[in-house]
Every structure is written in structure tokens, then in C-alpha cells.
Chains A and B, each alone.
Chain A
């Protein structure tokens, strides 16, 4: 696994230097069979991309140098042509990552998924027991289906990572979720942050865990910094992320954005090709993201926690409509990491 991560980092770094979109996330649909209380998505009434538009995008991404295609939604398996899309992308040589709630994975489609050889399959797990998980998803029976999917996938030899948004309603099950996931043979990833909704509403964040929750339940937690690519002695990688440099996202209706949690439209794939959008020398947003250095971020650069901060430009934008603002989610994360380090230092010196 470690060598795989190193290879991916190596490729990504090469791509970033050339401004190649190493990883592109396709939001295939806004439709979802669950209605999670913390979901950040908002409805878009425009027509969603058709199968032929998606295959055209995949063709374009081949020529643009993309390695990884991630699929998210909505629920990706709710698209009737999803398996055709996966097959097409496999033929084109993409490394594929699937993000799903798992409820539509069953014995009938597991063999197909094995054939596809996804690089990763990430499943949302929101509790250790049905009451909690189903309470958050709003759909009775969803826990059972999700757990069943994890079992089937693991049995089929597909690597599964569960992703859990930690909230007031499930934080007390943090330990039990870790145990459950281990028992199922998957890897677990937890995220203690809740994003605002894309319409600016902070309602989902009312469910965010408190500092006391963290202290009570998360002392063994290792912060997830997968969005970041910290490079030693590189001022451009400090306090910034991959969005718009080596990562892009395409919404169900074709809007190209820097990241899935960064809904700032760079262009629409129905009006311009991906290459025209990604390599547009006059795109102020992309130019800003690619040129931005830590020292440009006045407030963050002067912060004592800047070296451990996983600043998310997307959430900074969601909160402040600014690319250079701090992100309160990252501030909280850095504060937490600093606290954990102080505990470790205390243990080491005692």
C-alpha cells in the first residue's frame, strides 16, 4: 500500500508540474436513494450529462493526461448506464475510484465490479448500528445493505475504504465503527469536519462535533491529509491543495470546478472542451490557484500552525467566497493536531 501511495504521489507531482489533470472526479448524477442529513449538495435542474457526453469527456481526458477518474454523485449506481461508463473508462486505461453508499451493490453486479479492477472503492458508513446509520441517511434498511455490500466486495478481493463523516449523532460510535470496519476486512477513514451546503447554508454544520467530543473520542485519530501534497521546501504546496492544479471535478450537468467541494465554475463542458477550460491562459481562477503561494495568504501565513495546516481552498471559498481566506475546518483540524502533538510531547517528556 505504501509503495502504491508513493507511486501515485510520484505521478501526481509530475502531473502537477505540467499542469496535467492527474485526477478528475465525475459527479455522475445528483440523484440519490438516500437523503443524508449532512449532505452538501443542492439540486440542479439542468439536464444531466448523457452517456455519449460522458464517453466524450473520457476521450478528452485521455488526451489531457488524466490518470485517475473518480465517480461520485448522488449515488453512482443509480445511473442505469453506470456499468457501461466503467467499462468504457477501463478500456481507455483509467485508474478508477468509486464513491458510493453501497446500497445498490449486490451479488448480481459484484462479478462485474471485480472485472473492472477499481483502484479504490469508498463506501459511506455513518454508524456502527442500523439505528444511527439509517437515522442519518433517512432510509430504513440502508445500514444492512451497506454492510452487506462491504462484505461482498471484500470477499471478491476488492479493496474497500469506508468513509465516515463524524457527527454529533455518531461520534459516540467511533470506536465501534473502527472495530466493525476492521472485522469486515475494510479500511476506515473518518472525517470530523462537515462542510456548509453549496447554497451557503450552514445548517449541516450544526451537526458538527465539538472540541469536547474530539477530546473524548478521537485521541487516537490520525488526521486525513489526502487532499494535500506537502512538498519539502516548496512554498506553493504549503497551505494550498491539489484543486485546479492536478485535480478537477465535473458536475452532473457539465460544470468544471477545481474540486468536488469547491463549486466555483471554471467553464461548462457543453460549451468548451475540457482542454480549453483547463488550459485557458485567461482563466483568473486557475491562474490564481496555480500561482498561489503560502506567503500570499496573509492570515494563514502568519499563523503559528501553518506547517501542520491542511487548508482547504474549497471550504475557504464556501465560507468566505475568497480563494485566499482561511478555512475554519482546516483551522479546527490544525488546532486539533497541535493539541495531539502537545499530548505526545507531554507523554514523551514524562
Chain B
């Protein structure tokens, strides 16, 4: 389970582009592009300023009009994927 108190830190070296509501990012190793769906792209954009997961959770509930449990399940999965791709890291401090 991901701690809501953690802060998301974006990889400053990531190469990325937005189109409509989606984000497209080259992974850290380079050469491989992957797509972030609307919700993941929203998390990515919010993380421009290192932000606590609890704040992202609240914002996603409001923006996509979904309950907290659904939102938490979604972002837990998306954050795990982004961690795996090494485009973000989690920190105790902003």
C-alpha cells in the first residue's frame, strides 16, 4: 500500500509530451515510449510541483467525480507503474 503522506517527485530527466489529455514519455533507459492515460497524465502534471499523494487523491476525486476508494485503487496502480518505469520517485519530503 502506498503511503498518502509521501510526495511524488518527477524524474527531471524524463522526456515527455502531452497531447489532448494523455502524456507520452520516454523511459529512463531511453528509446522506449509509453503512454499515460488521462488519470495518470493528470497525476504527472500535478507532480510538476512535488506534491503529496493525499492531495492528488483529493483532486482526482473532485476532477473525475469518483469516490475515494475507487480513486485510491486507481492511483495506487498508476503510481506503481510510474515507479516501475522510473519516471517518478516517492519521498518523505517535498
Contact = CB atoms under 8 A, between A and B. Distances in A.
B17 A95 contact: yes
Contacts of B20: 14
A157 B30 contact: yes
A8 B33 contact: yes
Given A7-B24, A67-B24, A15 B19 contact: yes
A-B interface, 7 closest residue pairs, ranked by CB to CB distance from nearest:
A117-B30, A159-B31, A7-B33, A4-B33, A93-B17, A67-B17, A7-B35
A7 B34 contact: yes
Given A7-B35, A11-B24, A118 B30 contact: yes
B19 A119 contact: no
Interface of A: 3-4, 7-8, 10-11, 14-15, 65, 67, 90, 93-95, 114, 116-120, 157-159
A119 B33 contact: yes
Interface residues of B, number: 14
Nearest to B35: A7
Interface of B: 15-17, 19-20, 24, 26, 29-35
Given A14-B19, A93-B17, A118 B31 contact: yes
A93 B19 contact: no
B85 to A, nearest CB: 13
A117 B24 contact: no
B30 A95 contact: no
B30 A114 contact: yes
A69 to B, nearest CB: 11
A158 B24 contact: no
Contacts of A114: 30
Contacts of B15: 90, 93-95, 117
Contacts of B31: 117-120, 158-159
Nearest to A96: B15
Contacts of B29: 117, 157
30 contacts: A3-B34, A4-B33, A7-B24, A7-B33, A7-B34, A7-B35, A11-B24, A14-B19, A14-B20, A67-B19, A67-B24, A93-B15, A93-B16, A94-B15, A94-B17, A95-B15, A95-B17, A95-B33, A114-B30, A116-B30, A117-B26, A117-B29, A117-B30, A118-B30, A118-B31, A119-B30, A120-B31, A157-B29, A157-B30, A159-B31
Contacts of B32: 4
A118 B19 CA distance: 20
Contacts of A7: 24, 33-35
Chain B CB within 10 Å, residue with most, of A10, A117, A119: A117
